[in-house]
Each structure stands twice: as C-alpha cells, then as structure tokens.
Structure 1
Amino acid sequence: MATDVAQRSTKLAHVHLGVDGGAEKFFVRLSRALAKRGVEQIAFIRHDRPWRDELAEHCTVRELKFSRSHLKRHFVRWGVSKEIRDFGASTTLGWMSPSSKWMPKPGPDMRTFLRLGDFPDGFHTYGNVQQLIGNTPEIIRQAVEMGWPAECAHMISNFVDPLPDNLQPVNRSEFNTPEDATVLIALGRFVQRKRFDLLIETLARLPDPVHAWLIGDGELMNDMKLLAKQLGVETRTHFLGWQKDPTPFLKASDILVCPADDEPLGNVVLEGWNAGLPVVATASPGPSWLIEHGKTGLLSPCGDADGLAGSIRTVCASSTASADLAGRGTEFLRARYSEAGIVVRYQQLFFTDKHGNNGR
C-alpha cells in the first residue's frame, strides 16, 4: 500500500478533527517536537479548539467549519486536499478514525498515515489511508487481526514533556480539600469506559482522609455527581472540570488512579509518572502493557472496587513503598518514553523510504 519516494521533503500536514483529551495534548506535543527538528507543518482542525493558539505557535493552522450538507462536505474535503498539496506536504497524518474521511488521495508525491490512539472499529472510511500508526501493540494487533496489512501497521508510543522545575502545585484549599488529605487524581472524559463510577465506589470504601479529584468533562458528569451523593462521599469527591494544563493539579496530588475498563494506552499513566506520583490502575490493555505490577505501579482487576481500594491502601500504608513505586515509574518513563526517542521514529517513518533516503 505504501509508495516509496527517493527524496522527500520534511513538510507534514495534519488532519485532526477531535475534541479535548489526552490525544489532543499529544497532538500538540508531537507537532511542537517535530517543529523543533525543522519539520514545517500545517494542521486542519475543528473551529475554536482550546489548544488552537498553542498549536499555532509552531504550525500553520486552518480551522474547519462543517455543514450538514453532503455536497458542501465534498467541497470542504476538496479544499483540504488542495491546500495540503499547495503547501507542498509529502506526508499527511490523520488523527483518529474520523479524520480518515478527510485525507487527501495518496500518490507518488504524497504518503498518508492515520494515527490511532484507540481500537479500530472498521476500515470503511480508510480509502485514502496507506499506513496505520498505533500507540500500543494491542491496537496494532487488533487492526491486523481485522485485516489491515501487517507491513503497513506501525507501533509508536507517546511521550510526555518533563515538568518545569519551578512548577507550582495548586492550593488544595481553593478546591475544598484539606492539606492533610490523601488526594487521588483521575483524568479523562466522563464516559462509561473510563469508569469514574468505579473510582467513586472505591472512594466510598476508603476512610475520610482520602479525597478524589476528577478532572475532565463529559456526558456522565451529572450521573457521577449523583452517585457521589448517593454513596455519601460528595464532600470528598471534587469535580474540577476540564483543565487545559492539569500538571499543577497532578503536583498537588498523592496518587494517580486509572480505573478504566477499556484503556488502549493510558496517557494518564505517563502523566502520573511524569509528575512523580505512584500509579494504581485497573488491568485494562494499556495500563497492563505499561505497568509492571508491584514495580512501576499496582494493577487490580477491571471493575473491582475492592481490588482498587486495596491497591490504594497498599500505597497509603507505607511512604517508602509509595516513593519506590513513583521513582521506578519515573525512571521507566525517562528510559522508554523520551521525546527524542519517540520523535525520531516518526521522522524515520514519515521522511525516509525503504532505501534509507530522507528529505534532509
């Protein structure tokens, strides 16, 4: 499916039609890292994304507005393809399956990749996609099992930015949280598979000094607030909404919790290690792949509130054990998920053909 070109420019186009979440943060992070290495980029995104200005610091940005008219959508797609070619991109990278419908047609001067941070649900809109990139082995395994050619599927994980040395944590008192509380933090969209309900049920099994900060937004927010009230932990469950930069909240917390049933990677695990936190998680695919149980974090069965509560009690019981988990997690992050190591793999994939030629 892939087309080889002996010499490729280092101009890259992105098609990103997602909203807010960990994948969007990594999109901005990767494009900034590529820009630092001389890659000129253009990005097509939805109108009025909260990270638009941050992206525009290093990337030409085009904001798209969509119409329900099928005919107008064809004109938008044609316009995107034309601008990508006028820009001179040799490679287009789509982000997540919805972007596959807006990819330009590949050819001798254009290769197309689609990056998946979630499990594929079919390839019916992938007509202009030549190659897939998944950020976990399980995503790639499922894609190949579903019929995608193995030689056109690549696994490249995420990286996170080291936190600034002068980063100041938020003041707990501003969020009705005692200074002496043990603060659990969880981040993500309020959708069923993220299992914020499991975390609230877990909190109800833990004593009063333990509080939970839930960062994110979504359709189940009100349901989660109701559940916290029903379980009698509404004063210990803090809904902090969507935060453009959650790192000051991570620095003010004690334990990163990932309670998901179906988490392909778990950017939050990387974020927790990056902030120097011990990580406890349920054994969904991503965290199970990232975490070595008992060494870089603690895993418990999916959907098991008692098991998750047991992991948290283990961390709380010993400051030495907590520090050891956090330290080993951070060491693992630095060794395996550095910006330099991850970005060079993208550069090799985008701008080097099978003969080793590149656009530099």
Structure 2
Amino acid sequence: MATDAPLQLKKLAHIHLGVDGGAERFFVRLTRAFAKRGVEQIAFIRKDRPWRDELAEHCQVREMTFSRSHIKRHVIRWNIARQIKGFGARVTMGWMSPASKWLPKPGPDMRTFLRLGDWPDGFHTYGNVEQLIGNTPEIVRQAVEMGWPEERAHVISNFVDPLPENLQPVNRADYNTPNNATVLIHLGRFVQRKRFDLAIEAVARLPETVHAWLIGDGELLDDMKELAKKRGVTDRVHFLGWQRDPASFLKAADILLCPTDEEPLGNVVLEGWNAGLPVVATTSPGPSWLIEHGKTGLLSPCGDVDGLTDAISQISRSPNLGVTLVNKGKKTLVQQHLESTISRRYVELLGDNAT
C-alpha cells in the first residue's frame, strides 16, 4: 500500500520499444503499481501499441517514431530528454536493451536505469545507463561476467495481478475440448526456445484424454501445426492464437507447461501459480530459480520429452501431488512475488536521492 514505506520517488520516465507480449503486460502492471504509490509517470513508446490505452489510464503517453539513422537518433534522444525535463522527472528507466540508446544523459539531475528481462547482449549502446536491473539472478550474473560493475547491478523479480474473484473460465466446448479432458496449457511466442514441439510430442505420448491449448503466435506456428498433424494429434492439440489476457484460459486448464530451453524468468510460472495450476517446467535458468522441484512444481531436463511426459503423468496419476504443488506454489507467489513487495523495491531503488 502507498503508506507502507516513505515515498521518495515522485516522477518517473519510461522508454519502452516493445510490441506485445509478457514483458509488455508486466510493464503496464508495474507502471500501474507505481501510480498506486503516487508516482507520476511519462512513457515514450512506439506508435499503435495494443496496450497504449491501458497504459494511458495511469501514465502520460508519448508515441514516438524511433529511427535507426545515426543522425536522427541524436535528435530523437534530445527531444525525449527535453520532454522528460519538462515533465519534471529526475529518473528514467529503459526497458530492454533497445531502449538503452534512447536514454538521456545521466547527471546531477538525472539518474538512468535499464531493466532487463532477457539475457544481456553486450553493452555497446549502454553509454547512458547508470544502473542495471535484472529480473533474475542469472541475468545479473551474466551481465557482471561480461564486465558490468557488480555494484551497479540489481535483481528485482516480477509479480502478477491477482485474478478477479468473479473470473469465469472459458467454455472448453468452444475450443473443441471435452469437459473431462486433462488440459495442458502452454503460452508464448512460437519461436525455437519456447519448445512448443515438446508439448505436442508429450500429448502424442499421453492418453487420449489429454489435450493441449497452445496460446500465442510467431514464426514457427505453421511448423507446429504440421508437427501436430504428423503426430496424429490435431484433434487434441488446439492452437488458440495470441490472447491479450489469457487468465480465463488458465482458469479452465489443468496443468501449466513451461518446457523452454532458454527462459530467463518464466513469467508464465507465476501466472500458473496465480491461477491455481500445478506447473511442469524444464530446467532452464528462470524456472529452475523459481521452482523447488517436487514442492512448487516439477522440473525435467531441457529438451527431454520423456521427462516432460513423465512429470505430466505424475500429476495426472496423483491428485494429491497436484494439490501440494498448487498450494506451495501460491505460498511462494505470496511470499516473494506480490505487487506490494516488488513495487516497493523498485521505488526504494529508483527513488534513492532522487527527490
């Protein structure tokens, strides 16, 4: 709540060049949490973002065209810095590496932060970045290993919004799924590291009562549809497209999958706990950090379809195991990933000596 800590951060500027996905959903959530704490904000984003109006409910929005031209870049950055100064913010946070090149120059009246939710890819555009924030220890560890000063690197994780008490699950029949099926749900971009192929292969090895809802879009979507056809599971693997808010789908599912090869955090793990689902994930860095195997979820080796299938089967065979994983997962969520906890850490870090 706004009164549980001295408020030091008064105004904050953001630079976010993202399109639409989990990172963007968290961006909107965190800016809303700042607003609840009385922080006035301005955000510089690309034009026509689908979450623009939701962001504008609690944050001033400036839609920009971010040019790749070296000369235009200086003009745009100067314009952003001018608007931030006019707004009165003395702290700016960029979101992901592409935002780093647009940060204003730090100085006595400006502190700059870059928030990373993915692996660092070098610091060649980080000239105006003072402090780095990673949402997992592994992101920060890699940055420090690459040469970023450890004293200027911080770990602050994510949170998810509680589900509305009156949230209704989607109707399974609308998605050609029997009510008595065991529904696996996997969300994300259809790219290689998300390993939607493992979910499809697992369904092919599991009883016919097991269905999978694959939510997302991306370059490998057609390949995954072809794989489902090849494995003979087109009637049990359902491609539901990109969903701006997947909460009602999570509410209607039985087990959340996170079978990725290289997952920095795995925000879907938090969403699974939040929705009361047992979580089955692979041992990529983020899920391995979030999940205590056998207590808050089940982990299997990356790329191991048999291990993934066995973990799903364990939960299907043992309802008590599923209940245990759900209860302990929710406990971890409450203890470590509440909005109040995460937003307070941000305010304390960003607000220090800023007002």
Q: TM-score under structure 1 normalisation?
A: 0.95
Identity percentage over the alignment? 72
Residues 187/9 of structure 1: CA separation in 2 closer, same or farther (3 Å cut)? closer
Give SS of 1:18's match. Answer: coil
Count residues with an aligned counterpart.
349
Q: Specify the alignment match of 2:312 in structure 1.
A: 312
Q: Specify the alignment match of 2:65 in structure 1.
A: 65
Q: Structure 1 stretches (4+) deviating beyond 6 angstroms?
A: none
Matches within 5 A, 1:1-360: 10-67=10-67, 69-353=69-353, 359=355
Kept in 2, the 8 Å contact 1:8–1:90? The answer is: no
Separation of aligned partners in 2, 1:34 and 1:347: 8
Separation of aligned partners in 2, 1:117 and 1:66: 21
1:8 Cα deviation from its structure 2 partner: 6.6
Q: Which amino acid aligns with 1:91?
A: V
Kept in 2, the 8 Å contact 1:9–1:90? The answer is: no
Separation of aligned partners in 2, 1:221 and 1:134: 30
Residues 204/68 of structure 1: CA separation in 2 closer, same or farther (3 Å cut)? same
Consecutive unaligned residues of structure 1, counting only runs of 5 or more, are 1-6
Separation of aligned partners in 2, 1:8 and 1:87: 17
1:68 Cα deviation from its structure 2 partner: 5.3
Give SS of 1:331's match. Answer: helix
1:175-210: CA deviations, max 9, x gaps?
Answer: 111111100001111111111111111111111111
1:174 Cα deviation from its structure 2 partner: 0.7
1:313 Cα deviation from its structure 2 partner: 0.1
1:99 Cα deviation from its structure 2 partner: 0.5
Kept in 1, the 8 Å contact 2:278–2:323? The answer is: yes
Kept in 1, the 8 Å contact 2:9–2:352? The answer is: no
Give SS of 1:204's match. Answer: helix
1:50-73: CA deviations, max 9, x gaps?
Answer: 111110000001111244544333
Kept in 2, the 8 Å contact 1:169–1:250? The answer is: yes
Kept in 2, the 8 Å contact 1:100–1:114? The answer is: yes
Separation of aligned partners in 1, 2:351 and 2:260: 36
Give SS of 1:169's match. Answer: coil
1:242 Cα deviation from its structure 2 partner: 1.0
Q: Cα RMSD between the aligned structures?
A: 1.3
1:9 Cα deviation from its structure 2 partner: 5.5
